[in-house]
A and B are shown apart, each in its own frame.
Chain A
Amino acid sequence: MADLLLIVRLAGRRVALPAAEIEGVVELDGITPTPKAAPHVAGLSALRSRVLTVIDGLAALELGRSPAEGLLEAIVVPSGGHTYALLVDSVEDVIETARPPVRIQAPVGAGWDRVAIGMVEAGADLLLLVDPHLLISGPAAQAA
């Protein structure tokens, strides 16, 4: 059975996300800041009449902060009754993969270990498979 994967560039790395978890790709114009919210929350944005909670992918990985200026590319992820927009560097492609993901056997790098759930073959490359929900819940949730 073929699974669809969304290939994005996040924190400078090409990673795969299960396309079934993703509602769409949007360009966000303007983010309303959310003072004192969890640090990986970039703010709020509106997708037509829905409020999106914007998650800074870089901050969720504890690898820095994305700039919150101009048009921002994000993927829309419904999770736990809320809709989130996950900021990414860029969205590349949607591909099919026939092989199930394989387990990761070595550390894949600071920040990534928490969100990576496996490795998948995407064409000729082997990419990290990232769970968008783990990105959304943020670093704090892991510690708790």
Chain B
Amino acid sequence: MDDLINDFLAETRDMLQALSGAIVAWETEPGDRARLDEIFRFVHTVKGNCGFFDLPRLQQLSHAAEDVLAEVRSGRRAPDANLVNAVLAVIDRIGELVQALETGESLASEDDEQLIAALSFLPVAPAVDVEAPVPTGEVKKGMRSIRLSVDLLDRMMSGVSDAVLARNELARRLRDTERDLTVEAAFERLSGCIGEIRDAITRTRMQRIDSLFTALPRMVRDLSADLGKQVRLQVDGGDVELDREMIEMIRDPLTHIIRNAIDHGIESAEERAKTSKDAIGYLRVSARQAGNQILIEIADDGRGIDGEALVRKALSAGIISPDKAEKLTQQQRLSLVFAPGLSTAGEVTAISGRGVGMDVVRANIERIGGLVDIDSRRGEGVRLCIRVPLTLTIIPALTVSAGGQVFAIPRSAIEEILRAGAATQLDRIGQSTVVTIRGRRVPLVGLSDLLGVDAPAADSTGNAAASSPSSGGQASSSIILLKPAGGNVYALAVDAVHDHEELVVKPAAPVVMTAGLYAGTTLADDGRPILLLDPSGMANQAGIRFDDQEAENRHAAAAQAQDGPDEKSLLLFRGLDGGLRAVPVPVVERIEDVASETIRFSAGRLRVSVGGHILPLAGCTEPPAGGKLRILRLTDGESELAYGFGEVIDIRSLTLDLKPAPCPGEVAGVALIDGAQVELLDPYWLFAAFADAKPATDSDVPMVCALPTGDSWMDNMLRPLIESLGYRVVAAGEGVAADILITCADDEAETGTAAAEVLRIRSHPDLAGENDNSIYRYDRAALLDALSRGASRAVKKDG
């Protein structure tokens, strides 16, 4: 039946298209009998077909038009301009309706009556004139389409894939033979064509999920009207692309879930009023791509699911045994919804029936390799989440290699690609490795370690020897920052990064998926299979605990700083004298063990040579007797100093009630942390006292600008501007001396950063008062002026 309707719609659209010429001709010459007959035949055909399918609106319209045109044909009415307009308006409306039926949109029906009325009354209502000149004919010309079976598309897809492989084979053969420029040129052309065909065919399989979502508003409207409920629907993420077939597979389950939500979930207005809910129920359907999955979420704010009742029903239906029932978690109880033959709905309704459905929903989704999760709070609603794998969808991916083998990583999870070396720093902590990238510490996973494949010994690329010995034996040349869906950032070390490619991902066999590392398989251009890595799976397999990372993560620290402005991220350690000390985390560059031989009393103070540099050493008064010394390498951004200590205790983020030291010194003050007195180091004093003074002539030394953290405008907009002027940006309130301090005018709190200049920025264009010396945040000229003034003054001061 669906096929027949589609055929009818396509036929009608084609007829309309063919008719558009006749319509224009008839409009200019209403007396033209041949044109009149053509139009008459059209409405007659439409009318006949409408009766066959149940399409009352189309039938009504075409019937009315047919009547009028019959009168004209028999000479009972003269075809004047008004009548022509009215008929055209009706034909246009038929076109719109056909289009709406095809795309599943809904079209307001109010003015159908008006159009029909205009046909019969000679004095035409003006509204119709407005309606008439809708240029639907032109729109449709652009939308030429035919219907194809997915089967045929599959055959085309596999055919063109074979063509690509054959092309590659040919390319290899050509390379082995003598060069012939004419053959090569021809081959290049062929090669380009095949690539284009493949792109086009690949795209034919993809469809925006919109095609599924556009039908929802109408369905929700009709359902809620039938049930006498009021429901507000919100649809998000219609631009997510999915395989056509996948969309068809989701259609029924999605419909069913929505029916259930409106029928059983959302209460009637009276009932909602009793529980002090908004009278209008809320239903949200959203889709998004998350890593290697498409997530479709359906959430309502209805009465929710009664887990207890489900268990009782399951018990009485004999689906679960009593001892098992006791052990069920809330999640497992809710999952009973999917058990065959179970429903909590008290009565059977015409809309969603009883008990049959949710099991079918789950079965259908699992058949395409998907999952359904359910979450519900009694009285607050139900949230169902359909996860469909990315399989058969095309995803942009990065190909990398590890252990001589090529893998693909979904680009959506990639934050950044870095070369191991200058900008990054690796620290081995026990068995794991932490990489520091621009002050941000993230756990590092070696792909070849994770996969248990050997690092390339005699790889054809042959540059494995280029690895730096200081990086703790890591032969990896590239580091990829990954942010899996719902997870935290971690770094993946790979041997080489190759290329960005658009890959058609297919599901991997279960025996391969057991590794927990892969999202699917795909074919490379040379026809070899490639495994697509699953970023969150890798994190799980590598055993990364993100909780630990939080404390070290600069972003996390910034987020915490938002909660309480005085909260600081501190490294707690025990000094060489046994005393508890703390130092702000951002000034700690790294922690290192140095041999005592590297420490000398030279040029007037204790110094340690480490990694080719000589650093002043604080925290101890004489070289250690022997063995090793642990040092904190502190940085103010340009100079470094070492601080000897005993052991790291913890990294804590806390609000300090600091009792200042009576005079400036190594210790800024003392505070109570977990009931113990902890001395807080004063990095400002340390650097002033210990750091080697920079030569005054060195004008390349960047000015330091202290910026409040946690303000996205500051981070994302102001910071690049400041950096472009040659400033080095540090976080305000972290104890690093700055040449200029930026503060927010709306926030009067002093950050305690020592700065030569303070620049106050306000978010509102108008001045707050007479002596408001702040600058509006988008007053670029004033900002630049103030910043460069600060820079030049600082240079003068230095000189």
Q: B-contacting residues of A (Cβ < 8 Å)?
A: 30, 32-38, 40-41, 44-46, 48-53, 55, 80-82, 84, 136-138, 140
B165 near A38 with CB under 8 A, answer no
Contact status B405-A49, CB under 8 Å: no
Using Cβ atoms and an 8 Å threshold, which residues of chain A touch B507? 81-82
Inter-chain contact A51/B523, CB cutoff 8 Å: yes
A44 touches B511 (CB 8 A): no
Q: Which of B514-522, B604-612, B661-669 contacts A (4 or more CB under 8 A)?
A: B514-522
Q: How far is the CB of B400 from chain A (nearest CB, A)?
A: 14
Given the complex of chains A and B, what is the CA–CA distance between A40 and B510 in angstroms?
12
Is B405 a contact partner of A33 (Cβ separation < 8 A)?
yes
B512 contacts the other chain (Cβ, under 8 Å)? Answer: yes
Counting residue pairs across A and B whose Cβ atoms lie within 8 Å, the total is 83
CB distance A38 to B529 under 8 Å?
Answer: no
A36, B510: Cβ atoms closer than 8 Å: no
In the complex, which residues of chain B have a beta carbon less than 8 angstroms from the beta carbon of A37?
A: 511-512, 514-515, 518
Given contacts A36-B451, A36-B517, A50-B158, contact A41 B512 (CB under 8 A): yes
- A-B contacts, 5 listed (Cβ < 8 Å): A32-B405, A46-B523, A49-B158, A49-B161, A53-B512
B17 to chain A, nearest CB (A): 37
B506 in contact (CB, < 8 A)? yes
Which residues of the other chain, B, contact A36 by a CB distance below 8 angstroms?
Answer: 451-452, 515-517, 541
Residue of A nearest to B404 (CB): A33
- Residues from chain B with a CB closer than 8 A to the CB of A52 are 529
* Interface: B755 (CB within 8 A): no
- A37 CB, min distance to chain B CBs, angstroms: 4
Residues on B with C-beta less than 8 A from A41 are 509, 511-512
Which of A30, A35, A49, A140 meets B165, CB within 8 Å? A49
Q: A38 vs B161: C-alpha distance in the bound complex, in angstroms? A: 29
Q: Given A37-B514, A136-B511, 20 more contacts at CB 8 Å?
A: A33-B453, A34-B515, A34-B518, A35-B451, A36-B451, A36-B452, A36-B517, A36-B541, A38-B511, A41-B509, A41-B511, A44-B512, A44-B521, A44-B531, A46-B527, A48-B165, A51-B522, A51-B523, A52-B529, A55-B511
Q: Is B239 an interface residue (CB 8 A)?
A: no
B528 at the interface (CB under 8 A from A): yes
Q: How far is A47 from B517 in the complex, measured between Cα atoms in Å?
A: 24
* B132 interfacial contact with A, CB 8 Å: no
Given known contacts A44-B521, A49-B161, A49-B165, A34 and B452 CB-to-CB distance under 8 angstroms: no
Residues of A close to B530: CB separation below 8 A = 32
**Complex Cα spacing A51 to B504, Å:** 11
A49 to B168, CA, bound (A): 13
In whole angstroms, what is the CA distance A41 to B162 when docked? 25
- Beyond A45-B529, A49-B165, A51-B523, whether A35 also contacts B509 by CB under 8 A is no
Task: Chain A residues near B247: list those with CB within 8 A.
Answer: none
Q: Closest approach, in angstroms, between the C-beta of A132 and any C-beta of chain B?
A: 13
Contacts of A82 in B (CB 8 A): 507-510
CB proximity to A under 8 Å, residues B513-571: 514-518, 521-523, 527-531, 541
A35 lies within 8 A of B515 (CB): yes
Which residues of A have CB within 8 Å of B523? 46, 49, 51
Interface size on B, residues (CB 8 A): 31
Give bound CA distance, A50 to B510, whole Å. 16
Contacts of B453 in A (CB 8 A): 33, 35
6 A-B pairs with least C-beta separation: A49-B161, A35-B451, A44-B529, A36-B515, A53-B509, A38-B511
Q: How far is the CB of A71 from the nearest CB of chain B, in Å?
A: 16
Are B531 and A38 within 8 A (Cβ)?
Answer: no
Distance of A30 Cα from B511 Cα, bound (Å)? 19
A103 → chain B, closest Cβ, in Å? 28
A136 nearest in chain B by CB position? B511
Q: Could you say which residues of chain B place their CB within 8 Å of the CB of A50?
A: 158
The interface residues of chain B lying within 8 Å CB-to-CB of A51 are 506, 508, 521-523, 529
Contact of A32 with B165 at beta-carbon distance under 8 Å, contacts A51-B521, A53-B508 already known: no
Q: Which residue of B is nearest A137, CB measured?
A: B511
- Most B CB contacts (10 A, CB to CB) among A32, A37, A45, A55 go to A37
- Name B504's closest neighbour in chain A (CB-CB): A49
CB-based nearest B residue for A43:
B529
In the complex, residue of chain A having the shortest beta-carbon distance to the beta carbon of B406: A32
**How far apart sit A81 and B157, CA to CA, in the bound complex (Å)?**
18
Contact between A32 and B531, CB atoms less than 8 A apart: yes
Chain A residues within 8 Å of B451, by CB: 35-36
Partner of A53, one of B158, B165, B403, B511: B511
Given contacts A32-B405, A35-B451, A36-B452, contact A48 B511 (CB under 8 A): no
**Given A32-B531, A49-B165, A51-B529, are A38 and B405 neighbors across the interface (CB < 8 Å)?**
no
Q: Complex: how many Å from CA A46 to CA B451? A: 22
Q: Which residues of B contact A34 (CB under 8 A)?
A: 512, 515, 518, 531
CA distance A46 to B530 in the complex (A): 10
A136 to B511, CA, bound (A): 8
Which residues of chain B (430-469) have a CB below 8 Å from chain A? 451-453
Most buried by B among A30, A51, A52, A140: A51
B162 and A48 contact, CB distance less than 8 A:
yes
Which B residues are in CB contact (< 8 Å) with A84?
A: 509
**Considering the chains assembled together, what is the distance between the CA atoms of A37 and B521 in angstroms?**
13
Q: Provide the bound-state CA to CA distance between A32 and B406, in Å.
A: 9
For A138, the chain B residues whose CB sits under 8 A away are 511
Complex contacts, B161 vs chain A, CB 8 Å: 48-49
Could you mark each residue 489-516 of chain B with 1 if its beta carbon is under 8 Å from any beta carbon of chain A, else 0? Answer: 0000000000000000011111110111
Chain B residue numbers with a CB within 8 Å of A44 are: 512, 521, 529, 531
User: Which residues in window 162-195 of B have CB below 8 A to A?
Assistant: 162, 165
Closest to B158 in A: A49
Could you give, for residues 272-306 of chain B, a 1 whenever the CB lies within 8 Å of some chain A CB and a 0 otherwise?
00000000000000000000000000000000000
Bound complex: CA A82 to CA B531 (Å): 15
> In this complex, what residue of B is CB-closest to A82?
B509
Query: Quick one: CB contact mask for B56-94 with A, threshold 8 Å, 1 for yes?
Result: 000000000000000000000000000000000000000
CB B506 to nearest CB in A, in angstroms, measures 6
- The B395-414 residues at the A interface (CB cut-off 8 A) are 403, 405
- A39's nearest neighbour on chain B, judged by CB, is B511
Bound state CA distance, A137 and B513, in angstroms?
12
Q: Name the residue on A nearest B163 (C-beta).
A: A49
CA distance A41 to B508 in the complex (A): 12
Q: How far is the CA of A38 from the CA of B516 in the complex (A)?
A: 11
Q: What residues of chain A lie closer than 8 Å to B515, measured between beta carbons?
A: 34-38
Query: How distant is B494 from chain A, measured CB to nearest CB, in Å?
Result: 14
Bound Cα distance A51, B531 (Å): 10
Residues of B near A140 (CB, < 8 A) are 514
Q: From residue B527, how far is it (CB to closest CB) to chain A in Å?
A: 5
Q: With the chains together, A38 CA to B453 CA distance in Å?
A: 15
On chain A, the residues within 8 Å of B522 by CB distance are 51
B512 touching A32 by the CB < 8 A rule? Answer: no
Nearest B residue (CB) for A48: B162
Closest B residue to A49 by beta carbon equals: B161
User: Once the chains bind, are B452 and A35 in contact (CB under 8 Å)?
Assistant: yes
What is the bound-complex CA distance between A81 and B514, given in angstroms? 16
Which of B405, B517, B531 counts the most A-chain CB atoms under 10 A from its CB? B531
CB-nearest residue of chain B relative to A30? Answer: B528
CA distance A130 to B516 in the complex (A): 29
- Contact residues in B for A80 (Cβ distance below 8 Å): 510
Tell me the smallest distance from the CB of B376 to a CB of chain A, in Å.
31
A81–B511 alpha-carbon span in the complex (Å): 13
CB distance from B714 to the nearest CB of A (A): 44
Known contacts: A32-B529, A46-B523, A49-B523. The answer to whether A40 contacts B158 by CB under 8 A is: no
Bound form: Cα–Cα A52–B158 in Å: 14
Q: Smallest Cβ distance from B169 to chain A, in angstroms?
A: 12
Output the least CB separation between A81 and chain B (Å): 8
Q: How far is the CB of B726 from chain A (nearest CB, A)?
A: 47
> Which B residues are CB-close (under 8 A) to A45?
529
In the bound complex, do residue B511 and residue A40 qualify as a contact, i.e. CB atoms below 8 Å apart? yes
A33 nearest in chain B by CB position = B405
Contact of A38 with B512 at beta-carbon distance under 8 Å, contacts A44-B521, A46-B529 already known: yes
